[in-house]
Structure 1
Amino acid sequence: MSHHLSGPNLRPPSGDARLDLTDVFAFESPTTPQSTVLIMNVNSFAFDPTHGPHPHPEAVYRLNIDNDGDARADVAFSFVFSAPRDGRQTVTVFHGTDDEARSWEAAGEEVLTDVPVSFGPEPEIAETGWLRFSAGLRSDPFFADLDGIGKGFEWTGIDTMADKNVIGIVLEVPDWVLGSAPRIGVWARVCLREGDGLVSVDRGAHPSLTAYFNAEDAKDAYNRGEPADDVATYLDSWVAALRHSGDYDAEAARDRLAAVLPDILRFDRSEPAAYPNGRRLDDDVTDVRIGMVTNGRVPDDGIGPHADLLPSFPYLGSPHPTT
């Protein structure tokens, strides 16, 4: 199920929905030439019984960009949210490069300060210089028959996420901000402050990897890991999982996994986005992943993209009613 509930036993990381990274998107701006849209969605089902939809004020939410192919961040955007008060919340945005980008802290230039977070139907949009930004409660764009997946691919015809919300963190930036070469890699991370430091509680880029490939007792370690270590750490066990689920031979399994390991969403900006070259909001990644893990033996789930996507920034649909 995409990257929702990516902690052990189909629970959010650290048992806190606010910390749950659900999806990462990267695509060319449909409205601004030579610009890229980056989106990280968090807070699975956008409701924590105690805290509601508000992002965690002791967390650092981060989008990482590798622009030289070494699976390490060269550019990063970090997002730090205030403690909610009277239902309101703000977010501050940092832009880091080089060593700043590789720190889990919110390092670099503070490019936006105390931007309001939207929890109603109208998004709050902030612009400064080259950056367009929005954060708030939005309709979850992910679409899938999750009940059918849980029943061994016996499809129910019901889109589990059709009426669900997430917290969407959306950026639109000129291509040059992310690097001069057309090829970039994107992934997201959520860190929680514990004592004097940060602990990585979730990370990822490609949809549904940890759900299909990581054992329950391996998920926390995966969420703490770095993409640069993914091939050495996970290739052999994931090959075994793919051979079991799809009856691949070892060489074919390695070939299929080369598209998703390391867990970085590659985007060649000289070509239109279409997963796995970047990811648009309407890309049917569920069918792609089901086809991968079953070696094409299971038909698609018949669920299509949501009709509430916006044609312009911030692209995510208005939130569904929460009561």
Structure 2
Amino acid sequence: YAGVDGVAGLPPGISALAGDGSQGLGLRQRYSVTEIRNGRQRRNLGTGPMYVLPSNIGPRSMPDYEQLAEQGLFDLNNGGRIFAGQRDETFYIDLGATFDTFNFRAPPILDPLQDSNDQDNPFGNDMLSGFNVNSIAIEVPISELTTDPNAQIGVYASTSRRRIRTLLNDGSSRSIGSFVQVARMANPLVNELIIGLGQKDRWNASAPQNEQRFLDFYLNPRLASLLNLAFDTNFPTSGRTDLVAALLQYPGQNPNVCSSNNRCSDLLRLDLGIEPTQPEMQQRLGVLAGDMAGFPNGRRPNDDVTDIVLRVVAGGLLSPVPNLGDGVNFNIGA
């Protein structure tokens, strides 16, 4: 490191994202936020320069990382806020066991005592514990979306890239062409556990309103068949209109029909008429535990989406099912 005066030495501690206290940063990432309505109306929501929070190098380089992280929260001119940077990965799951064809460390049925304890991991290994994830968190005022306090909204996130990227001889790159969607996310674990392997790229590139193309994966869930084969169960594997209703529709829609007049879309839905549950009263199993403010009504950081999805796919919205779970009931260290 060469200081301002050109003399070699240790870089100064980083205490700011810009200006005084940021001299130790070798690279700053800036970003912008643009609101697009009806595919045409564009509005820049920034109120000034916005910087990505750099990764936590350590206490010598960043003596007070949490104070630095607070500077990464920026106000938007629509009354919202935004943060971009690393935060704790709140998705807790025994990742290895789940994707090793449900090779759980114990039979994946929790006894009543284990299932009722939201502060203990009875047998699973939270393989994401202690890891950060690059996050873009946007807080949007409800008034920007609707004036109806009882409205039901649906959201999804997508990632798009330029169609062509060329690597040049000087080491730089150039991207041209239109933006192409390469990934999307709404309800958790749909792409991982519902959509068949051979269709995942096609699913990621499609828009949620075209979910009818993948309807067979919901009506005849492969996951239910795999659970039956692995654990000698008898969960329903066909005619699953309950999954269509829970994951692809708003309440009141006809789950037996998906059409332009009765749209089926993979969206994370939220009923604004349901009051949020205070953190200390939240149930990790959300709606399945009578906490109507939890998944699949929105998704909170503490919702155990793995156990919820397993039970819903097993038919938990139709009739009582065993307490299926991966043995990871909470996010260690959160």
| TM-score, normalising length: structure 1 | 0.62
Cα pair distance change 1:291/1:90, threshold 3 Å: same
Query: Could you say which residue in structure 1 is the equivalent of 2:191?
Result: 210
Query: Could you say which residue in structure 1 is the equivalent of 2:74?
Result: 126
Cα distance, 1:125 vs structure 2: 1.0
Structure 2 counterpart of 1:233, one-letter code: R
Structure 2 counterpart of 1:306, one-letter code: N
Pairing 1:146–2:99 present: no
Runs of 4+ in 1 over 4 A off after TM superposition: none
Deviations 1:110-149 (A, max 9, x none): 1115411002333211113312111111111100111221
Structure 1 counterpart of 2:267, one-letter code: I
Structure 2 counterpart of 1:259, one-letter code: A
Structure 2 counterpart of 1:291, one-letter code: R
Distance 1:184 1:200 in 2: 22
Structure 1 counterpart of 2:53, one-letter code: S
> In structure 2, which of residues 123, 141, 157 is the aligned counterpart of residue 188 of structure 1?
157
Pairing 1:97–2:46 present: no
Deviations 1:48-84 (A, max 9, x none): xxxxxxxxxxxxxxxxxxxxxxxxxxxxxxxxxxxxx
Structure 2 counterpart of 1:214, one-letter code: I
Distance 2:130 2:327 in 1: 17
Contact 1:141 1:306 survives alignment (8 Å):
yes
Aligned residues, how many? 217
Distance 1:128 1:285 in 2: 30
Cα distance, 1:215 vs structure 2: 2.3
The root-mean-square deviation of aligned C-alpha atoms, in Å, is 2.2
Contact 1:140 1:166 survives alignment (8 Å):
yes
Contact 2:218 2:243 survives alignment (8 Å):
no
Deviations 1:9-59 (A, max 9, x none): xxxxxxxxxxxxxxxxxxxxxxxxxxxxxxxxxxxxxxxxxxxxxxxxxxx
Runs (5+) with no aligned partner, structure 2: 1-24, 57-64, 106-122, 164-175, 229-234, 249-264, 277-292, 316-320
Cα pair distance change 1:293/1:255, threshold 3 Å: closer
Query: Could you say which residue in structure 1 is the equivalent of 2:45?
Result: 111
Structure 2 counterpart of 1:189, one-letter code: S
Pairing 1:164–2:189 present: no
Cα distance, 1:260 vs structure 2: 1.2
Query: Could you say which residue in structure 2 is the equivalent of 1:279?
Result: 299
Pairing 1:221–2:199 present: no
Identity %: 28
> In structure 2, which of residues 173, 193, 215 is the aligned counterpart of residue 235 of structure 1?
215
Query: Could you say which residue in structure 2 is the equivalent of 1:15?
Result: none
Cα distance, 1:257 vs structure 2: 2.9
Distance 1:187 1:125 in 2: 22
Distance 2:75 2:333 in 1: 24
Pairing 1:254–2:241 present: yes
Cα distance, 1:187 vs structure 2: 0.4
Structure 1 counterpart of 2:327, one-letter code: G
Distance 1:174 1:241 in 2: 36
Structure 2 counterpart of 1:125, one-letter code: L
Contact 1:153 1:298 survives alignment (8 Å):
no
Query: Could you say which residue in structure 1 is the equivalent of 2:8?
Result: none
Distance 1:131 1:308 in 2: 28
User: Matched residue of 2:202: which SS?
Assistant: helix
Distance 1:190 1:237 in 2: 23
User: Matched residue of 2:82: which SS?
Assistant: strand
Cα distance, 1:88 vs structure 2: 2.3
User: Matched residue of 2:156: which SS?
Assistant: strand
Rg comparison, structure with higher value? 2
Distance 2:132 2:331 in 1: 12
User: Matched residue of 1:266: which SS?
Assistant: strand
Contact 1:290 1:298 survives alignment (8 Å):
no
| Structure with a larger share of its residues in strand | 1
Runs (5+) with no aligned partner, structure 1: 1-84, 101-106, 310-323
Query: Could you say which residue in structure 2 is the equivalent of 1:268?
Result: 271
Distance 2:201 2:29 in 1: 29
| TM-score, normalising length: structure 2 | 0.60
Structure 1 counterpart of 2:104, one-letter code: E
Query: Could you say which residue in structure 2 is the equivalent of 1:10?
Result: none
Cα pair distance change 1:116/1:197, threshold 3 Å: same
